Amino acid sequence: MRLRLFDWLRPLALALAAVAVVTVATAPRATAQEGTLRVAVLNDMTNFDPMQFSTVNFFLIKNLYDSLIEYTEDGTPEPSLATSWEIAADNTAVTLTLRDDVTFATGARFTAADVAATWAKANDPTAGKNVYPTMGIVADWVVEGDHRITLRFKNPVPDRQILDLLQFSMPIEAAGIATVETQPAGTGAFRLKERLVGQRIVLEANPDYWREGEPAVATVEFTIFSDDASAAAALESGAVDMTYMGQSRTAVRLGNSGFQVVTGPGKLAQVFRINSTRGPFRNASFRQAFNHLMNREGILRVGYAGLGAVSALPWAPASPAADPSFNDEFAYDLDKARALLAASGLSAAEMADWKLLVNGSDEAAIAISQVVQASLAEVGVAIELDIRQGAEFIDALLGGDFAAVFGGVGNVQKFPSRLSTNSIYRTANNPVLGEPHPHPRYVEAIARVNSTIGSPEEVQAAYDNLNRVLVEEAFGVATNSYETGIIVAAPNVSGFVPDMDNLLVARRLRAN
Amino acid sequence: MTARLRRLSLALAALLADRGAAISLAFLVVVTLLAAGAGWLPMDAMRQDILKALEPPSAAHWFGTDELGRDILARVILGARTSLQTAAGAVAIAAVVGIPMGLVAGYFGGWRDTVLMRFVDVLLALPGILFAMAIIAVLGRSQMAALIAVGITGVPNFARITRAQVLSLRSRDFVTAVEAFGASSGYAMARTILPNAWSPIMVQAIVLASLAILLEAALAFLGIGVPPPTPSWGEMLRTGKNYLHEAPHYAVLPGIALTLTILSFDTLGRAMSRVLEDRHGQAMPAGDRQEEGR
């Protein structure tokens, strides 16, 4: 009797096992998503277009979208949506092979047509937004299959510049491009679950995400705090697991209290922007004096609690053009500054005939501006600060309505010519310096960097030339790199993924 | 000693008999002397020493140092000068504009009174801080702009106090007598009525000084006061709050200086009001106390 029972149980067990195997094999990729990661941010986002990203939506973009390729922290390219890239021998084209197992948040399959649609948007002067200037080197593109596409350039383009463009390209679902500002349409690890304007944004895991075992948590809840102190208090009280984009000084304090402080390679460079079309700044010697008037150590300490690095050039340490030797050559030295001021031939009244524009909402800017003001006073140039608030400051900054002002510049960790995406460093249509560009040596140096495809020595020579021109023309005097996108997390948070632009990547983050 | 001087010394004696008023007056005298002599003090309020930033109080820096390594005591003393200058200037502007308005409105009455008092009502309807911010937005950020802004917000108080005094004195015999002798209206207002209306106006000046210091500090705290590096108590509070964790003394000590100064002006003003009430039966109109707090 017992044997008979086993006789009919055995096939049943086998059948169940077979069903289980088939179920596991055909089920969506296994995920270990559980729990919620609570993140404090200081600004509400503006829109979901990955081509319009600014610091206010840094926390969202890399969670809703993936790039074609990524960089490691030291700048080495690695596959992402593109599994491989082949740069033509003459550097006039790059052919991408795309993953074939990727779906958008809507469930639609990711294909080369989506990449083509994304580049078409990027190449549109109106819709391309931040990416449009980068597309200036592109001639066209050819879809060579569902998962293969070739991008062709107008002229030979250096490898690193090509890679930057691929890293900057975050494919948008072709069908969602028209509505991407209000409705995310990416392949990211998360998708939008809820948004309460000015209060919070909740992302939920994309169940079909292509990276194995990611994301690590089921939801990420971003709470928008009105100020840095409140966000820090929320972290200290345990109300959130981490803060993102807080102030350096707060990060240092919290780090000393046992919290994790995570910084990435995507620094900003603090630059004393000089309008060389105005007053005494037309004089090259007068401008060059500012290379030695910058108390960079003091500025880094006062403005950024020492978090960052002094730099006489507008590069982050990860930039291929970074050259620390300039920090010694152009160190803070009031005697050298006095000599250059004397060489300018300007009278004391002429030297003091300007005001330093200051962002009144930025305490760090107010402090470091006073550092420069004090240095100037020591060499006999007494100037006043022109402190403006909010939109009034932004209008003056972007419209070039200033004599000099401190301002952060981005893209300083990538291909050096990307520097010219910042307003003061634009080579054409410069909103501060106007047309024709008053510093043709700088324009030529950027062009040389863009067109040097030769040996590493030739490329380095082009970078060296650019660096020399930057300090000699001195319409932007760099002081230091500093952190943006600082993460301060509770000790139980793990899974930090560095991003070349310091965007928040939450796909591996979890609070254990 | 003339009769006027005798009356003044008697009033001063009565004022100093009030212990609170005496302490307040002494404190204000010390603050004023320090502010006036700030340039001769051994500490330099402007000298930066970034390596010594945010140091706690010590023998070398009694109030510690700020984020740029500047001596906070020196900056509090120099900040007193900013506050007192703003207060004095604001009171002067408010008095110069407000007193003639009150004189004309009270003396002539009729349409002049209606027009001037409705204008005063409009000024009173505007929140002082917002009004001051609007003025600074037009004039730009400077000590003079702050002074003018604070001064204009004080005009209504002077106008109403003066008008009330004129209305009570207008029908008195000595005014009628002067007019009967053919005095002009200007003479009657300036030489006959105004000298007899000074007491409450002086009290108002003291009270407005404390309000002016508070308003100047509020504007600086909001980031639209006197531009740095000129020290101001409000600016020090604004910056110091960013360092409450690392250097609580930075915000607390200027805050104490500000509080004590305002308290002293207020205590002195109240004591003066009491003394004058006792001596002349002239009390501040009840409603004006509420208006001061707007």
ipTM of the complex: 0.78
The first and second tokens of residue B131, run together, are 């009004």
Residues of A in contact with B227 (CB under 8 A): 384-385, 387
The pLDDT assigned to B293 comes to 36
DSSP string, A344-359: HT--HHHHT--EEEEE
Q: State pLDDT tens for residues B138-149.
A: 888 888 888 898
The pLDDT assigned to A375 comes to 97
Nearest to B223 among A295, A371, A389 (CB): A389
Q: Which CATH class is domain A20-34+190-264+485-508?
A: alpha beta
Surface of A (374-403) touching B: CB under 8 A = 374, 377, 384-385, 387, 389
Across A397-475, the runs of DSSP E, i.e. the strands, are 404-409
* A194 in contact with B, Cβ within 8 Å: no
Residue among A227, A248, A249 with most chain B CBs within 10 A, to mutate: A249
Residues of A in contact with B53 (CB under 8 A): 301-302
Distance CA(B149)–CA(B165), nearest Å, equals 26
State the pairing for strand pair A487-489/A260-262: antiparallel
- On whether the CB atoms of residues A217 and A205 are closer than 8 A, the answer is yes
Mean pLDDT score of chain A: 91
Q: Where are the domains of chain A?
A: 20-34+190-264+485-508, 66-179, 267-482
Distance CA(A286)–CA(A341), nearest Å, equals 5
Q: What is the pTM of this model?
A: 0.80
Number of CB atoms found within 10 A of residue B93's CB: 21
In order of A128, A244, A485, B7, B74, the CA distances from A498 in angstroms are 26, 13, 11, 79, 46
Number of CB atoms found within 10 A of residue A18's CB: 10
More confident residue, A258 or B226: A258
* A233 in contact with B, Cβ within 8 Å: no
Q: Where are the domains of chain B?
A: 2-46+59-292
The first and second tokens of residue B104, run together, are 């004309």
Residues of A in contact with B48 (CB under 8 A): 298, 370-371, 374
Q: Which CATH class is domain B2-46+59-292?
A: mainly alpha
- CATH superfamily for A66-179 is Dipeptide-binding Protein; Domain 1 (3.90.76.10)
Q: Which fold has domain A267-482?
A: Dipeptide-binding Protein; domain 3 (3.10.105)
Q: What is the mean pLDDT of residues A160-181?
A: 94
Following CA atoms B14, B15, B20, B26 in sequence, which dihedral angle do they give, to the nearest 10 degrees?
A: -130
The pLDDT assigned to B291 comes to 39
Q: What is the mean pLDDT of residues B213-230?
A: 90
- On whether the CB atoms of residues A183 and A209 are closer than 8 A, the answer is no
Nearest to B227 among A253, A371, A387 (CB): A387
Instruction: Give the relative orientation of helices A296-304 and A363-378 as an angle to the nearest 10 degrees.
Output: 150
The pLDDT assigned to A5 comes to 46
The pLDDT assigned to B139 comes to 86
Across A410-498, the runs of DSSP E, i.e. the strands, are 476-482, 487-489, 493-494
The B-side interface with A (CB below 8 A) comprises 46, 48, 50, 53, 67-68, 141, 223-224, 227-229, 239, 242, 245-246
The pLDDT assigned to A2 comes to 46
Task: Look at B48 and A370 and tell me if their CB atoms are within 8 Å.
Answer: yes
* A230 in contact with B, Cβ within 8 Å: no
Cis ω on the peptide bond leading into residue A215 (within 30° of 0)?
Answer: yes
Distance CA(A425)–CA(A269), nearest Å, equals 13
**Which has the closest alpha carbon to A261: A251, A270, A271?**
A251
Q: What is the mean pLDDT of residues A206-219?
A: 95
